[in-house]
C-alpha cells in the first residue's frame, strides 16, 4: 500500500460519517419528494407481492426493490427509504475515494470528505430520490472501468440502469479506456436493459427498452418531444446548465471544473468527460434539473483531487475549509417544514376513507399518504382533474394552493362536492399549505 492510499478502516470511518450526516438530515426532512411518493408506492406494491402494479409505473424499479424488504417488515416506507438510501449513499463514498486515489493519491482523502458533504447529495437521501443510489452504482461502474475490469463495470452499469436510464452513458468510459476490450461492458448492460423490458412486458406493459424516454417526450415541456426538437427549450436548457451545476455541487463543482481543465489531456479525464457529455446531452434534450446532475457525483471524484493538488498548500487548506463550511450550510437548507402538513392531511383522509373510496386532486403526496396511488409525474389540466374527481369511488378532492384555476375547478365540482369540515389540526395543516379540501355530497 502506498503511503497516500487510504486504509480500509479510514474509508470505513468516512462512510460512517457520511451515513451519520445523511441520517441526521433525513430525520429533519418532513416528507419525501413528489417523485419519491411514486417510488415508495412501488416499494409497497413489491412488498405486497403485487409486482405487476409496481412495474406499471414509468419509473425503473431499482430503488423500490431495495426498499421493499424493509417495508415488508412493517417499517414506515418513507423512513425505510431514507435508511436504505443513507446506507447505500454512504457506501458509495468508498469507490469515489478509490477513483480519487487513481487520479491523485495525495489529495484523495480530502476529496472523500468534500464529496461526503455535497449538499444535495446529502439532502436527496432524506427526500428519497433515486440519484444517491444511482451515484453509488455509477461510481462502481467507473471504478471498474478505470481498473480495466470492463465486465464488472457493465454489470454495475446494468444495475444503475434499473435505477435511472442515464446509465446508458456509462459505457462511454469503457470505450475510451479499453477501446475494443471495453466494449465487453455493453454485454451485461444490454442484458439488463432487455431483462427489465421483458419483465415489464410480462406484467402487461408494452415492450419498451426506454419507457421513460417515451413518457418524457410526451410531456410537452421537453427539448426533444413528440413534435420534434423545441429549439427554444434547448437554448433555455443550455443557459440554465451552469447555474444548475453550481446548485448541484456547490464548491466541489468549481473544483471539478478546474480539475477537468488541468487533466484534460489524460485518457482517464477524457473517459469521464465522455460519460458526462453523453449524460449532459440527455439532460439538455429533456429538462435541466440540478437533481439530474447530482446523479453524476462520482465524475467529480476524478477531477476534484487534481484541482486540490494543483493548489499551493496554504491555498488548498483555505479552499477545503471554505468548501466544507459552505457545504454544511447547504446541507441545512432543508425543505420547508410546512410540507409536513401534507402528511398530516393525507393520514387524516386515510382514516376517513371506507373500502372502495379514494382521494383525487393534484397533491400527489397527500394522495399517497391517504393510501392512494400517486399521480403520474406530469402536468394535469383542470379538465383532467375534474374528470378524475368525478370517477366513481372518489370521496375527497384536494387541490394545491398554487394551482392556477383551482377556484374554477372547485366551482365546476360544486354540484357534487362541498368544502370539507376538517378537525382543527388538519384545518391548520390545509391552511398552512393553502390546500382546498372537498368532500362528495
pLDDT for position 69: 98
Q: What is the mean pLDDT of the chain?
A: 94
What average pLDDT does the segment 339-366 reach? 95
pLDDT above 70 covers a percentage of the chain that reads: 98
Residues 61 and 45: their CA atoms lie apart, in Å, by 11
Contact criterion met (CB below 8 Å) for 133 and 101: no
What average pLDDT does the segment 86-100 reach? 98
Is the pLDDT at 403 greater than 70? The verdict is: no
What pLDDT digit, counting tens, does each position of 410-439 carry? 889 999 999 999 999 999 999 988 899 999
Euclidean distance between the first and the last CA atom of the chain, given in angstroms as a whole number: 74
Contact criterion met (CB below 8 Å) for 163 and 140: no
pLDDT for position 2: 58
Residues 402 and 188: their CA atoms lie apart, in Å, by 45
C-alpha cell read off for 311: 493548489
* Nearest alpha-carbon partner for 198 in 224, 162, 172, 232: 162
pLDDT for position 232: 87
**1-15, 121-135, 306-320, 366-380: least confidently modelled range:** 1-15
pLDDT for position 296: 98
pLDDT for position 236: 92
Is the pLDDT at 343 greater than 80? The verdict is: yes
Residue with the bigger pLDDT between 97 and 233: it is 97
Is the pLDDT at 1 greater than 60? The verdict is: no
- CA distance readout (Å), 87 to 98, 150, 246: 18, 26, 26
Residues 381 and 262: their CA atoms lie apart, in Å, by 49
DSSP 81-111: HHHHHHHHHHHTHHHHHHHHHHH-GGGHHHH
Confidence of residue 217 (pLDDT cuts 50, 70, 90): confident
What pLDDT digit, counting tens, does each position of 131-189 carry? 999 999 999 999 999 999 999 999 999 999 999 999 999 999 999 999 999 999 999 99
What pLDDT digit, counting tens, does each position of 275-296 carry? 999 999 999 988 899 999 999 9
Confidence of residue 405 (pLDDT cuts 50, 70, 90): confident
pLDDT for position 229: 80
Residues 360 and 366: their CA atoms lie apart, in Å, by 9
What average pLDDT does the segment 94-107 reach? 97
pLDDT for position 3: 59
Q: Is the dihedral of CA 336, 337, 338, 340 positive or negative?
A: positive
What average pLDDT does the segment 63-72 reach? 98
pLDDT for position 225: 73
Is the pLDDT at 228 greater than 90? The verdict is: no
Around Cβ 227, how many Cβ atoms within 10 Å?
8
pLDDT above 90 covers a percentage of the chain that reads: 85
Around Cβ 431, how many Cβ atoms within 10 Å?
12
pLDDT for position 57: 94
User: Which uninterrupted H or E stretch holds 282?
Assistant: helix 267-285
Which strands sit side by side in the sheet containing 358-361, from one edge to the other?
Answer: 358-361, 394-399, 436-440, 417-419
Q: Where are the domains of the chain?
A: 8-331, 337-440
Instruction: State pTM to two decimals.
Output: 0.94
Amino acid at each position: 500500500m502506498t503511503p497516500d492510499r487510504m486504509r480500509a478502516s479510514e474509508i470505513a470511518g468516512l462512510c460512517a460519517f457520511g451515513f451519520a450526516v445523511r441520517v441526521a438530515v433525513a430525520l429533519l426532512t418532513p416528507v419525501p419528494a413528489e417523485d419519491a411518493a411514486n417510488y415508495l408506492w412501488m416499494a409497497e406494491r413489491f412488498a405486497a407481492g403485487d409486482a405487476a402494479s409496481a412495474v406499471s409505473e414509468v419509473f425503473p424499479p431499482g430503488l423500490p426493490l431495495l426498499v421493499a424488504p424493509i417495508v415488508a417488515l412493517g417499517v414506515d416506507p418513507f423512513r425505510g427509504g431514507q435508511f436504505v438510501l443513507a446506507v447505500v449513499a454512504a457506501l458509495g463514498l468508498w469507490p469515489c475515494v478509490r477513483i480519487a486515489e487513481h487520479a491523485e493519491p495525495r489529495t484523495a482523502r480530502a476529496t472523500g470528505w468534500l464529496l461526503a458533504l455535497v449538499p444535495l447529495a446529502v439532502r436527496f437521501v432524506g427526500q428519497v430520490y433515486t440519484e444517491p443510489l444511482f451515484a453509488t452504482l455509477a461510481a462502481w461502474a467507473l471504478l471498474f472501468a478505470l481498473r480495466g475490469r470492463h465486465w464488472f463495470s457493465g454489470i454495475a452499469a446494468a444495475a444503475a440502469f434499473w435505477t435511472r436510464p442515464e446509465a446508458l452513458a456509462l459505457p462511454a468510459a469503457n470505450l475510451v479506456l479499453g477501446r475494443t476490450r471495453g466494449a465487453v461492458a455493453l454485454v451485461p448492460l444490454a442484458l439488463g436493459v432487455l431483462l427489465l423490458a421483458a419483465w415489464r412486458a410480462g406484467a402487461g406493459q408494452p415492450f419498451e427498452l426506454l419507457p421513460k424516454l417515451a413518457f418524457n417526450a410526451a410531456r410537452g415541456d421537453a427539448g426533444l418531444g413528440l413534435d420534434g426538437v423545441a429549439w427554444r427549450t434547448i437554448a433555455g436548457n443550455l443557459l440554465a446548465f451552469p447555474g444548475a451545476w453550481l446548485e448541484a455541487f456547490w464548491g466541489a463543482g468549481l473544483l471539478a471544473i478546474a480539475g477537468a481543465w488541468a487533466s484534460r489531456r489524460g485518457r482517464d479525464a477524457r473517459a469521464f468527460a465522455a460519460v458526462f457529455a453523453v449524460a449532459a446531452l440527455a439532460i439538455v434534450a429533456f429538462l435541466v434539473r440540478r437533481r439530474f446532475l447530482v446523479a453524476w457525483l462520482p465524475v467529480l471524484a476524478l477531477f476534484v483531487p487534481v484541482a486540490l493538488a494543483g493548489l499551493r498548500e496554504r491555498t488548498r487548506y483555505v479552499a477545503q475549509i471554505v468548501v466544507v463550511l459552505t457545504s454544511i450550510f447547504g446541507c441545512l437548507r432543508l425543505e420547508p417544514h410546512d410540507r409536513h402538513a401534507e402528511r398530516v392531511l393525507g393520514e387524516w383522509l386515510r382514516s376517513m376513507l371506507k373500502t372502495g373510496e379514494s382521494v383525487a386532486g393534484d397533491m400527489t403526496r397527500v394522495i399517497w399518504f391517504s393510501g392512494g396511488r400517486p399521480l403520474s409525474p406530469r402536468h394535469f389540466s383542470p379538465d383532467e382533474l375534474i374528470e378524475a374527481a368525478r370517477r366513481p369511488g372518489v370521496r375527497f378532492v384536494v387541490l394545491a394552493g398554487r394551482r392556477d384555476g383551482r377556484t374554477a375547478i372547485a366551482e365546476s365540482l360544486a354540484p357534487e362536492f362541498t368544502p370539507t369540515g376538517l378537525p382543527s389540526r388538519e384545518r391548520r395543516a390545509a391552511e398552512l399549505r393553502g390546500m382546498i379540501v372537498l368532500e362528495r355530497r
